[in-house]
Amino acid sequence: EPYRMMTSRSEYRLVLRQDNADERMTPIGRKIGLIGDERWARFQQKQEWKRIERDRAAKAVLPPSEALNELLVSHETSSVSTGVRLVDLLKRPQLNYKILTPLDQNRPDYPPSVFENVEIEIKYEGYIKRQKADIAEMRRLEGKLLPKGLDYTEIIGLRSEAQEKLNRVQPANIGQASRISGVSPADVSVLLIWLAKEQN
């Protein structure tokens, strides 16, 4: 929707990245007949490459060496005394696939977009998981009904802009309320707390 077209206005910007737009939109395009067989095959190939690379990064171990420790120290991150998995090196904010190229000799010849996507998912894995859990919880709650004719100015904690727009629109449920321009995730949380108190 227009209000959340820019990722900076989106509640879930970690999962709405430019590098994973094809992953989010291509299956939808395929379902409604906009994606042909050739493009679909390319998409599936990329997803398979990503899966293989995530698996390789989790299993590949770089042995301790002078070259590895020189590289780590030169990028202001701690050296190692034992073998270290590629995935653990990529989790370090100072490192990336490009920096590790000289020591990652078994890296497959995939398109750069595959490594970009895998690297982002590795670095932000915890945050992405948490955001996906938030999305699942919101989907569970968005069907909760809001009373008709509710005066939102009486709900303490809602911002003035949210009160004004909620009063004007009078959304039927939490899902509709969350999609109103000017209603923030914090406002939605206030509504959910208010609903819980009212139902008790």
pLDDT in tens, 37-75: 999 999 999 999 999 999 999 999 999 999 999 999 999
Residue 193 has pLDDT above 70, yes or no: yes
Taking a C-beta distance cutoff of 8 angstroms, is the pair 49, 109 a contact?
no
Q: 2: which 2 tokens?
A: 């227009």
pLDDT band at 8 (very low <50, low <70, confident <90, very high): low
Q: Among 6-10, 21-25, 40-44, 152-156, where is mean pLDDT lowest?
A: 6-10
pLDDT in tens, 102-118: 999 999 999 999 999 99
User: Considering only CA atoms, which of 191, 199, 192, 196 is closest in space to residue 154?
Assistant: 191
According to the model, what pLDDT value does residue 192 have? Answer: 94
Report yes or no on whether pTM surpasses 0.85. no
According to the model, what pLDDT value does residue 3 have? Answer: 47
Distance, in Å, from the CA atom of 22 to the CA atom of 28, rounded to the nearest integer, reads: 10
How open is the CA angle 73-118-5, to the nearest 5 degrees? Answer: 115
Superfamily of domain 143-199: GidA associated domain, C-terminal subdomain (1.10.150.570)
Residue 5 has pLDDT above 70, yes or no: no
User: What average pLDDT is seen over the chain?
Assistant: 93
Which ranges in the chain are annotated with CATH 1.10.150.570? 143-199
According to the model, what pLDDT value does residue 1 have? Answer: 43
Residue 2 has pLDDT above 50, yes or no: no
- Side chain identity at 145, as an amino acid letter? L
